[in-house]
Chain A
Amino acid sequence: MAVTRKKDFNFAGIRVEVSADATRAERIQRSRLYRMLRPARQDGGGAPVLVRESAAGGAASPVSTADPEAQAIAERIAGIGWYHTIDLGHGIATPGFIDNRSSVPLFGIPDDLTGKRCLDIGTYDGFWAFEMERRGASEIIGIDVDSPIEHDIPRLARLKAMRERGEAHDKHRQVWNDQLANIGIEYPGQGFQTAKQLLGSKAQREAVNVYDVSPERLGMFDLVMISQLLLRLRDPQTVIENMFSVARECAIIAEPYDPELEQLGRPVSEFTGTTLMGIWWRHSIKSMRRMMEIAGFDPVEEVARFEVENRAGRFHKVVLKGHVPAAAREG
């Protein structure tokens, strides 16, 4: 596991960003020269950043035949197309498409959520909902759509491209079909409900589209979270505004970003709605930050940047935390 440390600071209008592998960075940080020259900590851009490679998940964990409970759990989770890797105890975790377990500390979720009401948007199998509950949240609602038809995807483009290109894109088609199968068309939320039962969780899954999130529909939440969904939405601004409308304290947006776009120094996004994987936009961090600011979050804080590797490939991810200003909270 290679870990890289990044640091950026401002020096007379010039932004300097230094990255080095962790051992080397450690050595530099301990050196006397560095401690003498150490740049003053900046607000905003100064957050230390960890880049991490985590192993791709996917394989079911081996089950100890000596533990009957473990075998019972393994039987319960078999046959479900899992999206999240979720620890279920007895040494068993669901064989998910995405394994967030090692990067949880990077998501900026408060350690103590005792008594808090939380919303997990696009909850899927509920990994983040259960994580919030583990931290003491008193009420968690995970929302998701019940049918792939409701997914915000450029259907026409997808179908047309598949028809036209046929064999050439079989691989993509297979991945896409796998994803559709994952949702559990016959039994929406199958993964969530199964994991919920096994964990004895009180988290609720509700079939609500992200575009329909409103205080009237769901009430207000202390923490609102969205992860790995914004890039699949053609109109991310409306969704972030919806998040603001139900947020009492803060919202966490943990999404992939494009480091090349980020380099342009402006809030630039790439429209990729023609791809087969249903990804509408590749965003720069600046774009997402700006969207949150326009939605009303103030300040918007960058919690972490890191690299993720899973079955979908390898990508860069940023965690932004938007705070609800006191004025908006009262109004």
Chain B
Amino acid sequence: MPKQTSTWPTEPLKRERKVRLGSLEVGLAMDAGPAERLRNSLPYRYVVRPALSRLSGARNGNGHNGNGNGNGNGHASGEDISVYKAGRPAAKPIAPLTEPTTPEARALIEKISGYQWYHTIDLGHGVATPGYVDHRAQLPFYHLPEDMTGMRVLDVATFDGFWAFEFERRGAEVTAIDVASMRDIDIPTNWLDEFDKSGVNHEMGVGFKIAKEIKGSNVRREICSVYDASPERLGMFDMVFTSDLLIHLRDPLRAMEAIWTVTKGFAVFADVYHPELEAFTGNALAQFARAGSGRSDVWWRPNTTTYRVWAQLARFSRMEEKSRFVLQAHFQDPIPKVVFHAYR
């Protein structure tokens, strides 16, 4: 999915604290940044905190950590979530196309210009598409078979086709599916009107076509939503691959169920997880689409436990975690990814 705006993190974290004073319960909540400064200030450390501790500790015998976490259901302490701070490196500009040194390179650059690439794809002659996302150096994190000869592989939501072309290079027979238009992406119905009125051409697959032609690829691209994947429609596959897709779906479980129906060997779920909710290992927690005025193309941002539960419900017999890393991409904020292999 194209993400040209920052989608991570979403809003300032809040730090909350509850103090019981007799029959009165007082809760305070403020942005984590100022809260951190306040907590570290001398008056707070030497006057306020001891006073609060004594007051609340004396009343409920629960020390100063009486914030409702002592129920043993696996939630980590409230401290953990508010202390987390995502590093925010400045957005890297997309590397300019290298100066063409040969006529072949010049011709390639001409072919790929004028389109906003999502994937960075090597095209030979020292030319690569200037994509938002560059998976090239991070391929080992996905633990894919080096030799895919004889494998039938499905690339779900292929976009510009980076993964499909990579599987083909490794010898697989590849089918790639995607939606026909941005309009068919799982967006709020409320947005459709605006989409239609905007007059913008939302056709998908422009980059795929260009790259496929340049590469002389035989990958078959079909219009099919992941929700509609079925053996009748697509056949069965030794490997089904998805990357950065599930977070963009309102019903990720339904997608995983559909993928299960066409998986003969294993499915790769390489998606974004929520590092802060990761602290709650016992619970399948997910953050719903970002709040505030901005629009997000992310529906759910789950922790890894959630992915495991979904895979189990989708009938995969087991799922192995292969790696975690931060996606190399031109987004303002780091995107933490996890790679799972789920077996039929």
Residues in chain A within 8 A of chain B (CB atoms): 8, 13-21, 24, 154, 156-157, 234-235, 237-238, 241, 244-245, 259-261, 263-274, 286-287, 290-291, 294-296, 331
Contacts and interface: CB of A to CB of B under 8 A. Distances in A.
Interface in B307-344: 309-310, 312-313, 315
A235 B299 CA distance: 11
B315 A156 contact: yes
Contacts of B69: 260
B11 interface: yes
A51 B283 CA distance: 27
Interface in B285-322: 285-289, 291, 299, 302, 306, 309-310, 312-313, 315
A331 B29 CA distance: 40
Given A271-B302, A271-B310, A237 B287 contact: no
A15 B26 CA distance: 10
A268 B285 contact: yes
Given A241-B189, A268-B287, A296-B190, A235 B313 contact: no
Interface string B177-203: 000000000001110010000000000
Contacts of A267: 287-289, 291
Interface stretch (B103-111, B119-127, B237-245, B250-258): B250-258
Of the candidates B15, B78, B250, B306, the one having the most CB atoms from chain A within 10 angstroms of its own CB is B250
Contacts of A24: 23-24
B31 A235 contact: no
B16 A263 contact: yes
Nearest to B26: A18
A234 B254 contact: yes
Nearest to B14: A265
B13 interface: yes
Nearest to A287: B288
Given A241-B189, A263-B68, A294-B289, A271 B306 contact: yes
Nearest to A24: B23
B81 interface: yes
B13 A265 contact: yes
Given A17-B27, A19-B25, A241-B189, 17 more contacts: A15-B28, A15-B29, A16-B29, A19-B27, A20-B24, A235-B254, A241-B190, A260-B69, A264-B14, A265-B16, A269-B285, A270-B285, A271-B306, A271-B309, A274-B309, A286-B288, A287-B288
A295 B13 CA distance: 24
A269 B285 CA distance: 6
Given A234-B253, A237-B299, A266-B11, A291 B288 contact: yes
A14 B30 contact: yes
A271 B26 contact: no
Contacts of A271: 284-286, 302, 306, 309-310
B251 A234 contact: yes
Q: How large is the interface on B (under 10, 10 to 19, 20 to 34, 35 or more residues)?
A: 35 or more
Contacts of B310: 271
A14 B254 contact: no
Contacts of A268: 277, 285-288
Interface string B253-283: 1100000000000000000000001000001
A39 B289 CA distance: 32
B312 to A, nearest CB: 7
A117 to B, nearest CB: 22
Nearest to A283: B288
A235 B250 contact: yes
Contacts of A274: 309, 312-313
A238 B250 contact: yes
Of the candidates A268, A270, A287, the one having the most CB atoms from chain B within 10 angstroms of its own CB is A268
B170 interface: no
Contacts of B135: none
B34 interface: yes
A276 to B, nearest CB: 13
A273 B253 contact: yes
Interface string B184-225: 000011100100000000000000000000000000000000
A237 B250 contact: yes
A24 B23 CA distance: 8
B315 to A, nearest CB: 7
A267 B301 CA distance: 10
Contacts of A287: 288
A238 B291 CA distance: 18
Contacts of A13: 30-31, 34
Nearest to A242: B189
Contacts of B189: 241, 244-245, 295
Nearest to B81: A264
Nearest to A272: B284
B208 to A, nearest CB: 29
A20 B190 contact: no
21 contacts: A14-B28, A14-B30, A15-B27, A17-B26, A20-B25, A154-B313, A156-B313, A235-B251, A237-B250, A244-B190, A263-B78, A265-B13, A265-B14, A265-B15, A265-B16, A266-B11, A268-B277, A274-B309, A286-B288, A287-B288, A290-B288
Nearest to A293: B291
